[in-house]
Amino acid sequence: MAFVAIVCFTLVAIDFWNSWHARAVQLRQMNVATSNLARAMAQHADDTIKKADTALVGIVERVEHDGTGPAAIDRLRKVLAAQAAELPQLDALHIYDENGNWVANSRQKPPENLNNASRAYFVFHRTHEERGPHISIPVKSRTNGKLLIPVSRRISHADGSFAGVALATIEIDFLMKFYDSLDIGQAGAVALVLENGTMMTRRPYSADVVGRNMLDTELFRTYVAGGPVGTAQIKSAQDGVTRLNSFRRLDGYPLFVAAALSKDEILAAWWRETLWHTAGVVLLVSLAGFVGWRLVQQVELRTQAEGELRRARDALETLNKTLNTLAMEDGLTGLANRRQFDVTLDNEFNRAIREAGTLALILMDVDRFKQYNDIYGHAAGDECLQSIGQTIARLASRRPGDLAARYGGEELAVLLPNTDAAGAAILAERIRSAVRELKIVHTGSSDGFVTLSAGVDALSPVPGTGQPKELIQSADKALYEAKTGGRNRVCISARPEPV
């Protein structure tokens, strides 16, 4: 399960990292695109204004040199008309005297009684001695109603006093034609802004936007804080759209341009691609998770099956042991049965031959047991044998190799490896005495209680001579002697020498 989880997490993490990296690359590429767009806009605006300003330089020099006499004015009007015709961005060229009255302009039909002394550009030149160009806030033409950007220069008398203004008016529509040709998407925006915070023009275009104060907008604050060139993600104060903005100041004039692409449009393709391959990763992770889950289930089932097999094997081994025990154990007394006795006798006999050891046998018989059954019944006889068997097992099974067995009926036997006849006789006497101390009442016995007789024999077998049955025969013979000698006693076989 941990492995499956790690694989799924790794797939998701790799997909997330790839998607995030692709997003960063897309934004970085669009950052370069908006920077290039702002550079192009700044160059276009600078060229547009510079051409108009260059015309003004010549006009100011001519007026200051030739004066404003009738002949000079006639020649000047022709010059203004020719220059205006060469510059498509211009609405008109104008000359005003120190009182703001019209002196000459480039129109074929000049206006009458026109005074511009109240215009911001006129007031600026009248109060400032700077001879450089001045760009004022957009104005609406009094003759044709067009929105115009005034570019003006001061005209001075020979003594340096104010003599009037030379004015070139640039059509905002000219700039808008260029801005409309730019591919900025459905929600992109471009703008030209005066450094005093006045909006000159903007796409998407609206007449209400021209001349709007931009001082409190995030775009203007970012421009002021970031310097002449920069890029930032900004939420527009105009329409609330978040865009990637690049801004750049014009080289020669107090204006800056801003080119902005919608962040949503920039990331639209990235989102589509991300959703597709994320869906693929989710499907793959789901498949891997399902396969892993099924695999884990199979492993668990196999583990359970193996556990059940182990339990079945253990149960079978236990059953086999139980069956083996039942096969080798006497059901009444709990002692070894005749089969186990015979097998053990053969094994111990062969061991004694290999190790040159001794093997002793105690063969016992309950005295007058038939009479006991006749008097007390077979159930009491079984209980009597059980008690005697427990006593023999307690006394005769103290060493791992010793074996106490029910030889048959009321006959019992104890097999004692590495024991001589004397040692076996001592144990036999202990057993006889312990059975007598059970004080099992037996009215058919001369003693009044249940007793047993025992015959003991031991031998040290030599390879090639003797058989296990000889040990049984000699012990049985000794038991017979104990029986005929009065019962309730132990007799040792009268073997002269070990076989």
In 377-399, which positions are buried (b, 16+ CB within 10 angstroms) versus exposed (e)?
Answer: eeeebeebbeebbebbbebbeee
Active site residue 410: yes
Q: CA–CA separation, 185 vs 266, rounded Å?
A: 9
Q: Do 363 and 490 touch, CB atoms closer than 8 A?
A: no
Burial degree of 131 (CB within 10 A; 0-12, 13-18, 19+)? middle
d(CA 274, CA 283): 14
Catalytic annotation, pick one of 273, 355, 410, 497: 410
**Angle, helices 468-484/338-355, rounded to nearest 10 degrees:** 120
Residue (of 386, 384, 391) closest to 367 by Cα position: 384
Rounded-to-integer distance, Cα 328 and Cα 402, Å: 15
Q: Distance between terminal CA atoms of the chain?
A: 73
State the Cα–Cα distance between residues 243 and 103, nearest whole angstrom.
47
Coil, helix or strand for 453?
A: strand
Six-digit token string for 165: 């203004």
Q: Could you give the residue ranges of the DSSP H alpha helices within 227-267?
A: 263-266
Contact between 272 and 63 under an 8 Å Cβ cutoff? The reply is no
- Structure tokens that stand for 487 in this block: 């019962």
Active site residues: 410
